[in-house]
Chain A
Amino acid sequence: MTRHKSRAMFGAGALAVAGVLVLSGCGGSGFDDSEGSTTEGLTSSEDGLTILIAASGDAEATAVEDTVAAWSEESGVEATVEVASDLNQQLAQGFAAGSPPDLFYLSSDAIAGYADNGSLTAYGDELSNKDDFYPALVENFTYDDEFYCAPKDFSTLGLVINTDLWEAAGLTDADVPTTWDELSDVSETLTTDGQVGLAFGAEYQRVGAFMAQAGGALVDGDTVVADSPENVEALEYVKENLDAGTFAYAADIGAGWGGEAFGQGLAAMVIEGNWIGGAMTADYPDVNYQVAELPAGPSGEGTLQYTNCWGMAADSPNQQASLELVEYLTAADQQLAFSEAFGPMPSVQSAADAWTEANPEDAAFLAGADYAQFLPTQAGTADVVADFNAQLESLATGDPAAILQSVQSNLEASVG
């Protein structure tokens, strides 16, 4: 008898639980009637803030947590920082459930998708420090003529040189390459058995720097220019050197990325961004290196910039407080503190001098900000770049013009 009773009670309990789940499950659309993505009037309430970040490591997580806690104390608005294990997935879940984090890291290639479905608030024009950001970064986060979100920091690509190998090959400071020909020459000098002159990832995110130096790009405004002769010239140049064995893709010499190839001495030079500093300190503290600007191509200097911004959710009930937090986080002093903690360059021009003074050895990265290009941000272009990367892996045996032709037609399908 007791057994029956307990079973019945269990059944009733399960029913109740399931019932509650059904009710809460169907109530997920409660936020649908909140405001859309217009900048007029941010929401304001007493609600606390949730900030979702994707930290590169403990240093970044701690720095952001401490800063947000300090702001919270100052402003009296409760704020919690969550470190995402898979940012894209957690963001998507938040938006679908109608309860996204209030503020979050947002990469430039994800803006279009989230802006199109109305998940984001374009708050850029409301920022009091709007004019302090580098114009190229503002442009990077401008979609459909709206400045969506504040760049939180940025990085550019530079030429990272192993000074020990450099000197061992009999090269001096005067030999630091400034043109493509010089780059080919020093790469050849530095190539030995088991070591290549220059290594980089098999992706547009690195090879694209050569395209920029040749005067090319994938997208110019709203026009697709992927199959331009400039781009063909750049890929021909890379292919030539890959064939000669003086350049190599990091994966082809058994490294996960350029920094690993560089740290293990598999490559004497790599094209990487300023994130390489943290990796070198942590994993390869004994390797001596210096950073130079990337050599100029036929059309002059060129590099690529990478940046994330502080995305703000359209469904956030307290956007006003979020805005204030963003202003706090992107202030020059704060960004300098972040830079010291985990490496990236401040996104505001007023911090440039102080940063260069603090990081003289990385000055070449900041110099790149003047001429850096960025990856296309239109919806669907990330897939095209991924497809381009897949083709770049076999550039050594491929036909540059044919590869670029396919990129052109794929891009035309998503842009314009």
Chain B
Amino acid sequence: MPNTVTARRAGSRKSSGIRRGEVAAGWLFTAPVILILGLFLLVPVLMAIWVSVSDWQGRGSPFSGNVGFVGLDNYAAVTSGGGLAERNFGLSIRNNAWYVLIVVPLQTALSLFLAVLVNRAILRGRGLFRTAFYFPSVTSSVAITILWLFLFSTTGVVNSFLGWFGVEGPNWFNDPSQIFHNALATIGITGAPEALTSGGPLGVSWFEWIGGPSVAMFAFMLMAIFTTSGTFMLLFIAALQNVGAELGEAGVMDGATGWQRFRYITLPQLRPTLFTVLTLGLIGCWQVFEQIYTGTQGGPAKTTLTPAYLSYQSAFVSQEWGEGSAIAFILFLIIIAFTVFQRWVLRERPVSKRRARQYEVPPHEATPHEITETKR
């Protein structure tokens, strides 16, 4: 890698002689893409930014003369209005935050686990398993949602299965009760102190914030984990195949156990892929839309309302275009913030002094771990 960078830098400054016309040609060749991306990506985004700070009501062009600038009013309405718009937004953030918190780690762990399983040379019928695990990912999420609605209906397969064990399954997609509240109820706690139920951010009480996802949302979470694990498994398999076997063998020679080899040799090398998977997972989870649109439309009791669906509903159904775009941009900021945070968490760190000391004797014989660290 370093070589290519320096090589490129050498000849970049001056354009003269035979290569003079290349700049114009370059622009000409990229112009179609720039225009198309600009038209279908940049312009709509800029328009949406304008709509989010305007009082456009959905008729005619948002740039016409009778559309006024209202500053951050739309943002204020959904974040501090004190009305229904604020509470809806609060509920959607609550629902989606729990969704992200539970789905992202689980789907990452499961997809890594599956990838390690099907990557083993010993396994017979690897192709079959890979296809099977990947299959949900290539199926349309609308089709899977409908399948899920059947599986998780009151008298559906899941509840029949639970019935074999004497468990009376919940009315999944119609159950608005929050799972941690239900857990508390089993030990006899059904209410909460006044301090928790009276106030909270975004018009949603603290008790509702900490209650966890509703049973209905939980069913959607299972679906998300089921469908996306296959996709991410594929990314992990690709990464695992780039992990050289010789490092693992070196680990075996050093007497590392299977778990240690995975934790200290394989996993560090998967870091870039891990970052990709986590980022894609975060973005996907914060943008849950089609499952909600086809499945529950935000119900029961608004516990599957998500910011993406709320944005659509505010604009297209309630004709509150400004608020709808404002929600979309707040969602955008949330995703950016999470991605930056996660990039910071997964950054390359120098080996700590304490850890480095373990490897110091003898002075210049590198351990597998150091090799992986210095290689980058």
Instruction: Give Cα A88 to B321, complex, Å.
Output: 13
Are B174 and A251 neighbours in the complex by a CB distance under 8 Å?
yes
Known contacts A88-B316, A113-B319, A251-B300: does B64 contact A29 (CB below 8 Å)? yes
Are A119 and B59 neighbours in the complex by a CB distance under 8 Å?
yes
> A59 contacts the other chain (Cβ, under 8 Å)?
no
- Tell me the minimal C-beta distance from A257 to chain B in angstroms: 12
Instruction: Give Cα A172 to B123, complex, Å.
Output: 70
Instruction: Give Cα A118 to B57, complex, Å.
Output: 9
Residues of B within 8 A of A118 (CB): 59
Instruction: Give Cα A14 to B65, complex, Å.
Output: 32
Are B60 and A96 neighbours in the complex by a CB distance under 8 Å?
yes
Instruction: Give Cα A19 to B34, complex, Å.
Output: 12
Residues 331 to 362 of chain B near chain A (Cβ within 8 Å): none
Are B61 and A32 neighbours in the complex by a CB distance under 8 Å?
yes
- Tell me the minimal C-beta distance from A177 to chain B in angstroms: 27
Choose the segment among A20-28, A38-46, A364-372 that binds chain B (4+ C-beta atoms closer than 8 Å). Answer: A20-28
Residues of B within 8 A of A29 (CB): 60-61, 63-64
- Tell me the minimal C-beta distance from B271 to chain A in angstroms: 39
Q: Total interface residues on B, using CB and 8 Å?
A: 38
- Tell me the minimal C-beta distance from B290 to chain A in angstroms: 13
Residues of A within 8 A of B142 (CB): none
Residues of A within 8 A of B60 (CB): 28-29, 31-32, 95-96, 98
Residues of A within 8 A of B300 (CB): 251, 390, 393
Residue of B84, B155, B299 with most chain A CB atoms under a 10 A cut-off: B84
> B192 contacts the other chain (Cβ, under 8 Å)?
no
Can you list, as one digit per residue, whether each of B306-332 has a CB less than 8 Å from chain A (1) or not (0)? 000000000111110000000000000
Instruction: Give Cα A28 to B60, complex, Å.
Output: 7
> B116 contacts the other chain (Cβ, under 8 Å)?
no
- Tell me the minimal C-beta distance from B78 to chain A in angstroms: 12
> B36 contacts the other chain (Cβ, under 8 Å)?
yes
Known contacts A382-B318, A384-B84: does B61 contact A98 (CB below 8 Å)? yes
Known contacts A96-B59, A119-B59, A393-B301: does B318 contact A11 (CB below 8 Å)? no
- Tell me the minimal C-beta distance from B326 to chain A in angstroms: 16
Instruction: Give Cα A394 to B171, complex, Å.
Output: 13
Instruction: Give Cα A149 to B327, complex, Å.
Output: 33
Are A394 and B301 neighbours in the complex by a CB distance under 8 Å?
yes
Choose the segment among B24-32, B233-241, B261-269 that binds chain A (4+ C-beta atoms closer than 8 Å). Answer: B24-32
Are A382 and B83 neighbours in the complex by a CB distance under 8 Å?
no
> A117 contacts the other chain (Cβ, under 8 Å)?
yes
Among residues of B, the one whose C-beta sits closest to the C-beta of A19 is B35
Residues of B within 8 A of A252 (CB): 171, 174
Known contacts A252-B174, A254-B155, A393-B301: does B319 contact A114 (CB below 8 Å)? yes
Are B58 and A117 neighbours in the complex by a CB distance under 8 Å?
yes
Residues 387 to 415 of chain A near chain B (Cβ within 8 Å): 387, 389-391, 393-394, 410, 413
Residues of A within 8 A of B301 (CB): 390-391, 393-394
Residues of A within 8 A of B174 (CB): 251-252, 393
- Tell me the minimal C-beta distance from A114 to chain B in angstroms: 7
Instruction: Give Cα A383 to B88, complex, Å.
Output: 10
Among residues of A, the one whose C-beta sits closest to the C-beta of B32 is A14
Among residues of B, the one whose C-beta sits closest to the C-beta of A92 is B316
- Tell me the minimal C-beta distance from B251 to chain A in angstroms: 50
Among residues of A, the one whose C-beta sits closest to the C-beta of B61 is A29
- Tell me the minimal C-beta distance from A299 to chain B in angstroms: 29
Instruction: Give Cα A18 to B41, complex, Å.
Output: 13
- Tell me the minimal C-beta distance from A117 to chain B in angstroms: 3
Known contacts A88-B316, A117-B57, A391-B301: does B43 contact A25 (CB below 8 Å)? yes
Known contacts A29-B64, A251-B174, A390-B302: does B39 contact A117 (CB below 8 Å)? no
Q: Kindly identify which residue among A10, A25, A31, A95 contacts B58, using a CB–CB cutoff of 8 Å.
A: A95
> A380 contacts the other chain (Cβ, under 8 Å)?
yes
Are B176 and A18 neighbours in the complex by a CB distance under 8 Å?
no
Q: What 4 A-B pairs come out closest when comparing CB atoms? A: A254-B154, A14-B32, A29-B61, A117-B57
Chain A to chain B contacts (Cβ below 8 Å), 26 pairs = A11-B28, A11-B32, A15-B31, A15-B35, A22-B35, A25-B39, A25-B43, A29-B60, A29-B63, A32-B64, A88-B317, A92-B58, A95-B59, A95-B60, A96-B58, A96-B60, A113-B57, A113-B318, A117-B57, A251-B174, A252-B174, A254-B154, A382-B317, A382-B318, A390-B302, A413-B83
Q: A11-B29, A251-B174, A251-B300 are in contact. List 10 more A-B contacts (CB 8 A).
A: A29-B64, A96-B59, A98-B61, A116-B319, A254-B155, A383-B85, A387-B87, A390-B299, A390-B302, A410-B84
Identify the A interface with B (CB < 8 A): 7, 10-11, 14-15, 18-19, 21-22, 25, 28-29, 31-32, 88-89, 92, 95-96, 98, 113-114, 116-119, 251-254, 379-380, 382-384, 387, 389-391, 393-394, 410, 413
